[in-house]
Amino acid sequence: MSYLSARYQKVPDIRVRPVPEMDVCLVYTPAEPKLFTLNPTAWLVMELCDGRDWKSLERKYYAAIEPVRSRQAAQTELQQVVNDLMEMGIIQSVPVHRSRRNNQGNRPGRQH
């Protein structure tokens, strides 16, 4: 999976129920009916997946845990948690499409 060429967001139809007094977040995935209990790390990563690209996700995650983890440990942990949340059907990656001009220099969508 190419982390750098995507944006990350929650799957639209999930149901999220934070339970802060227990330091967990419950997530129900109706597409494949399952109930998951997220620990604080997975909960944080899920909340950060609001359409950010990978670099922004890395920066925000590291800023949140910096005193506790090194940058390398944070990157490794983030990759694992993102993979886990994607496998659970809680977050999804959306490819980033860059607009390009065609050979005549016209902008997409313009008609002559």
Examine residue 103 and state whether it is found in any structural domain, yes or no.
no
- What residues make up the domain containing 83? 6-93
Examine residue 110 and state whether it is found in any structural domain, yes or no.
no
Examine residue 1 and state whether it is found in any structural domain, yes or no.
no
Residues whose CB falls within 8 Å of the CB of residue 85, separated by 6 or more in sequence, listed in order: 42, 45, 46, 49, 91
Tell me which residue of 94, 75, 78 sits closest to 6, measured CA to CA.
94
Residue 2 banded pLDDT, cuts 50, 70, 90: low
Examine residue 77 and state whether it is found in any structural domain, yes or no.
yes
DSSP string across 84-98: HHHHHTSEEEEE---
d(CA 14, CA 89): 9
Residue 67 banded pLDDT, cuts 50, 70, 90: confident
Residue bearing the bigger pLDDT, 97 or 26: 26
Q: What is the pLDDT of residue 96?
A: 78
Examine residue 12 and state whether it is found in any structural domain, yes or no.
yes
Examine residue 14 and state whether it is found in any structural domain, yes or no.
yes
* Helix ranges restricted to H, 10-93: 40-48, 54-65, 71-88
Examine residue 100 and state whether it is found in any structural domain, yes or no.
no
Number of domains in the chain: 1
Q: What is the percentage of the chain residues whose pLDDT exceeds 90?
A: 76
What does the pLDDT average to over 70-97?
A: 94
Examine residue 71 and state whether it is found in any structural domain, yes or no.
yes
The answer on pLDDT for 3 being more than 80 is: no
**Run of H or E including 27:** strand 24-29
